[in-house]
Structure 1
Amino acid sequence: MDIASEIAKALSEYTTEVVEEIDNIADEVAKNAVNTLKVTSPQGRRSRYGKGWRSKKDGKGYIIYNATDAGLTHLVEKGHAKRNGGRTKAFNHIQNAEETAIKDFENKIERAIKR
């Protein structure tokens, strides 16, 4: 028995388990963020905006996007000038969901590492 190969094998198995755990946590956090955005998105004449939130796995992580009204996300988040003057109200729903997702991800990773 070669001890170096046994150590390398054990580290490889541990690394695989950690990567799988992190991927599971990222998937769960992305789903929670999508659900949060669906609930906290402003409702109005364009009620499909809130229903359009989706997530997809990218090579390095997850992307959360609005499939139905992607062009509105910045306008709703930051507000915009109206046609006849004035501005619309800004709804910081994306920023709030992002901050919550980041904190949730960090906490779950820390708990997973401590096990």
Structure 2
Amino acid sequence: MPNISIDQLANEITNAFREYTEDVTKAIEKKVDETAKEVLKETKVLAPKRTGEYARSFKITKEDGYGVTKRIIWNKKHYRRVHLLEFGHAKVNGGRVPAYPHLRPAYDKHAANLDDEIKEIIRNGG
């Protein structure tokens, strides 16, 4: 067995850990992107369509930081209208406008098992 110094051993361990971290990070980002695309697609299908403009204007925004991978699905043109359609709202002269849930059901359907998939990616090393 060859002799190896402590410094070389520490460098090799550091390099192996760095490779593992990079592989896991890339795999998690890929999985989050795939899930966000699925949620976006489902949201566009479930969104109310009078003219279709509302459904077409949903977009994905990436917010990545150190140790954070976040995707935000929002309506670029009609962002003020989303919560009114999603949850319903009161009418001016009384009564309520019915809710048309489209964003939350898509998120619940596709992102429900994302935590388990990320844990599996971490266990498998990417």
When normalised by structure 2's length, the TM-score is: 0.80
The structure where helix makes up a greater share of residues is: 1
Contact preservation (8 Å) 1:29, 1:104: no
Superposition map of 1:1-115 within 5 A: 1=4, 2-44=8-50, 46-59=51-64, 60=68, 61-115=70-124
> Structure 2, unaligned stretches of length 5 or more?
none
Tell me the SS of whatever aligns to 1:58: strand
Distance 1:12 1:110 in 2: 18
Bigger radius of gyration = 2
> Structure 1, unaligned stretches of length 5 or more?
none
- Distance 1:83-1:47 versus aligned 2 partners, 3 A rule: farther
When normalised by structure 1's length, the TM-score is: 0.87
- The runs of at least 4 aligned residues of structure 1 exceeding 6 Å deviation read none
Aligned residues: 114
The structure where strand makes up a greater share of residues is: 2
